[in-house]
Amino acid sequence: MSGWPELRSSRTVRAGHAPGTVIRCGVTDTVIADVPVSVVFFYQRALSAERLADGLSTALAAVPAFAGRLRTVGDQLEIVCDDSGVPFETYDVDDTLPKAIGRVTLPGGGFVDHVQANAARVGGLPLLTVRLTLLSDGSSALGCSFHHSVGDLASFMLLVRAWSAAVESTTAPEITQLTDPDAFLDASLPAADSGTPGFRLPTTEDAKRLATEFESAVRANRTVQVYFTDEEVSRLRAETSAAAGRSLSANDVLCAHLAHTLRALDGDTEEPRSMALPVNVRRFLGIEPGVVGNLVSEIFLTTPPAATAAEIATRIREAVEEFPTAHLKLRANRAFLESIGRDRLNECIPCGFDPERKTLTITNWSRFGIYDVAFEGARPAFFSPTSNLQLPWVAWLVEGFHGSGTLLTIAVPARLATTLRGAVGRAALHPHRREDDPALPELVTSVRKLA
């Protein structure tokens, strides 16, 4: 860090009234209740903490769960919308925008006050934190961390869009806060889904290995960010679609390209590998986009060692097309819970988290309107996920600088991270980049260690 952060102000933002609503957390909310989600928006201007705080207060009235607190009653996790509020701190840091972007993914990056997800279960701790960092070149970073039990990224973006609308005096999105997510889903879910649960109960040996993975994560792993231009994604999509003999989406081919490339660079040619792709179920189940909650399931695929990128992409596309019957897991999750007893739910982990077998989890955050989030007339120059715990084989895809191209953020073992950032890794990641392509965005060339 170029200079120590200096605290300028600290406050707690509240809506100003407490509805007192109690939200009964569903199965998905509870399984992922130990997971914080932390992100940073970067702006090429200094934002006003006062205006942001005023706008956030208005937004919290529309989505009160984010200003509430968790509690555990017996074996039931609940969110009480008591308007306890959101901690909001403002810091000055002697960093420029490119330097700040270059260290945003470091565990000690300092742009986010990560929520204490596990400890929050018993109550008293915030479910959302905000940190505004004012940089020395007149730019700023807006870091937010939220508790996953409140909702998915789509839910968080509803809050942020309402926040932006309050600051900009524009129309806020229509928002529906659920009080019983599982009961709500009963009306939308098909009678039968995949029959395969999306979480598992680890054995004693598994639990020990996972505990070791958590303990060593910061030392053993590194986070790498890779920027793909629109031109190279277009070429990748065309080439892979031609090889597959069918039309494929950008997400299909990028996920397949990543899975195939990581396997090759990791030198793993013997064992099958799996991948988990979280899916926003709203559009598949006809649920309005303004509903707050963890309305997600996942596609889980296993591919043989010799699978080509085109074969992997084809399997992803087929899984998306068959998703409601072949991969939707929400009813299967409930059936699994009934078989083990709700009191053991806290012991479960998502099937997609399996670092020993190098299961790759890729979450796509594109098309959530992230780069439309305006504050004081400014839109983000850059957006990134961040974490205080670099768990391996976890990745995100989202639009890149100023909303152009695609940014990959992935945590991998340190040795593989070094390879990805080197000449061999860059060549493998960017076979479709051309010298005569339009110039890369200015920030791309000035950010440290961007692959």
Residues 304, 364: Cα–Cα separation, whole Å: 23
Burial of 321 (0-12, 13-18, 19+ CB in 10 A): exposed
Residues 115, 71: Cα–Cα separation, whole Å: 15
What would the two tokens of residue 398 be? Answer: 């989202």
Q: Could you tell me if residue 192 is inside a domain?
A: no
Which residue's structure tokens are 């926040």? 163
Domain of 371, CATH number, reads: 3.30.559.10
Q: In terms of Cα–Cα distance, which of 436, 406, 370 is closest to 227?
A: 406
Q: Could you tell me if residue 193 is inside a domain?
A: no
Q: Are 107 and 388 in contact, with CB atoms under 8 Å apart?
A: yes
Q: Are residues 233 and 315 in the same domain?
A: yes
Q: Are residues 204 and 147 in the same domain?
A: no
In angstroms, how far is the first alpha carbon of the chain from the final one? 21
What would the two tokens of residue 50 be? Answer: 């006062």
Q: Are residues 15 and 63 in the same domain?
A: yes
Q: Could you tell me if residue 191 is inside a domain?
A: no
Instruction: List 9's β-bridge partners, or say none.
Output: 90
Which helix (H) or strand (E) is 388 found in, with range?
Answer: none
Instruction: Print the domain residue range for 275.
Output: 199-446
Count the neighbouring beta carbons within 10 Å of the beta carbon of residue 217. 18
Q: Any alpha helices (H) in 19-116, and if so which ranges?
A: 27-31, 49-62, 97-102
User: What confidence score (pLDDT) does residue 417 get?
Assistant: 96
Q: Are residues 274 and 422 in the same domain?
A: yes
Residues 83, 339: Cα–Cα separation, whole Å: 36
Q: Are 294 and 29 in contact, with CB atoms under 8 Å apart?
A: yes
Which residue's structure tokens are 């399996």? 354
Q: Could you tell me if residue 290 is inside a domain?
A: yes
Out of 154, 186, 218, a domain closes at 186
Residues 75, 355: Cα–Cα separation, whole Å: 29
Q: In terms of Cα–Cα distance, which of 378, 408, 440 is closest to 41?
A: 378
* CA–CA distances in Å: residue 203 to residues 210, 397, 403: 10, 32, 43
Q: Are residues 264 and 301 in the same domain?
A: yes
* CA–CA distances in Å: residue 83 to residues 17, 67, 80, 354, 378: 7, 5, 9, 37, 29
Q: In terms of Cα–Cα distance, which of 393, 250, 256 is closest to 315?
A: 256
Q: Could you tell me if residue 337 is inside a domain?
A: yes
Residues 128, 113: Cα–Cα separation, whole Å: 9
Residues 155, 91: Cα–Cα separation, whole Å: 27
Q: What 3-state DSSP class applies to 445?
A: helix
Q: Are residues 129 and 238 in the same domain?
A: no
Out of 152, 186, 220, a domain closes at 186
Residues 40, 102: Cα–Cα separation, whole Å: 12
Which helix (H) or strand (E) is 33 found in, with range?
Answer: none
Out of 160, 186, 212, a domain closes at 186
Q: Are residues 380 and 266 in the same domain?
A: yes
Q: Are residues 94 and 120 in the same domain?
A: yes
Q: Could you tell me if residue 356 is inside a domain?
A: yes
Residues 132, 141: Cα–Cα separation, whole Å: 6
Q: Could you tell me if residue 387 is inside a domain?
A: yes
Residues 357, 216: Cα–Cα separation, whole Å: 17
Q: Are residues 208 and 78 in the same domain?
A: no
Which residue's structure tokens are 């406050």? 11
Q: Residue 318 contacts by C-beta under 8 Å, 6 or more apart in sequence?
A: none
Q: Residue 238 contacts by C-beta under 8 Å, 6 or more apart in sequence?
A: none
What would the two tokens of residue 242 be? Answer: 């031609």
Residues 417, 421: Cα–Cα separation, whole Å: 6
Q: Are 14 and 83 in contact, with CB atoms under 8 Å apart?
A: yes
- Using 70 as the pLDDT threshold, list the residues of the chain that sit under it: 1-4
Q: Are residues 166 and 243 in the same domain?
A: no
Residues 216, 391: Cα–Cα separation, whole Å: 9
Domain count, the chain: 2
Q: Are 295 and 225 in contact, with CB atoms under 8 Å apart?
A: no
Q: Are residues 178 and 249 in the same domain?
A: no
State the Rg of the chain over Cα: 21
Q: Could you tell me if residue 22 is inside a domain?
A: yes
Q: Are residues 206 and 134 in the same domain?
A: no
